[in-house]
């Protein structure tokens, strides 16, 4: 017996990655990584001064499924932290939807496939849980962590 598609970790990861690649990387032209090594992102370019790292946390599969998501906004050579503030605003813009009465963005959960068309199976609601103040690392990197949880109805 196969698991229900709303419980597939592969589909959840693929859908989250698609949403952020389509928006932050493609639309906003931001450097994006899903590698938990936030401080040393592995990009093709050797010197990157601005990036977003998305790290998937705890996955809870129940009637209301939840995926914790830590989003790190990072800048270097940003003395006053202004570029970090701009970067944070760009990211948050994709975590809210002011056209909805509740202000919550819906991220499509797809049944992904390597060669066939992806099929929409649900919507995940994104909720910002917490946000850190600006953190300063020893190497001059400035970081803001936006802790988010995605929730959706599952079987």
Residue showing tokens 């503030």: 85
Could you read off the pLDDT of 8-20 as tens digits, one per residue? 899 999 999 999 9
Per the listing, tokens 């099929």 go with 119
Output phi, psi for 20, to 5 deg: -75, -35
Please give the angle made by the CA atoms of 98, 90 and 117, to the nearest 5 degrees: 80
Average pLDDT score over the chain: 91
User: 100 with 118: CB under 8 angstroms?
Assistant: no
Overall fold of domain 5-153: STM4215-like (3.30.2000)
H or E stretch covering 106: strand 106-111
pLDDT in tens, 7-66: 889 999 999 999 999 999 999 999 999 987 765 565 555 678 899 999 999 999 999 999
């Amino acid at each position: 017996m196969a698991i229900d598609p709303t419980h597939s970790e592969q589909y959840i990861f693929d859908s989250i990655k698609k949403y952020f690649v389509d928006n932050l990387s493609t639309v906003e032209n931001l450097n994006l990584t899903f590698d938990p090594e936030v401080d040393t992102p592995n990009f093709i370019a050797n010197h990157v001064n601005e990036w977003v790292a998305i790290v998937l946390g705890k996955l809870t599969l129940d009637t209301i499924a939840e995926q914790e998501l830590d989003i790190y906004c990072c800048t270097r050579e940003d003395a006053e932290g202004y570029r970090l503030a701009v970067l944070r605003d760009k990211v948050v813009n994709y975590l809210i939807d002011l056209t909805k009465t509740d202000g919550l963005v819906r991220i499509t959960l797809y049944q992904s496939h390597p060669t066939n068309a992806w099929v929409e199976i649900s919507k995940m609601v994104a909720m910002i849980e917490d946000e850190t103040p600006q953190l300063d690392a020893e190497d001059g990197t400035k970081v803001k962590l936006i802790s988010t949880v995605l929730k959706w109805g599952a079987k």
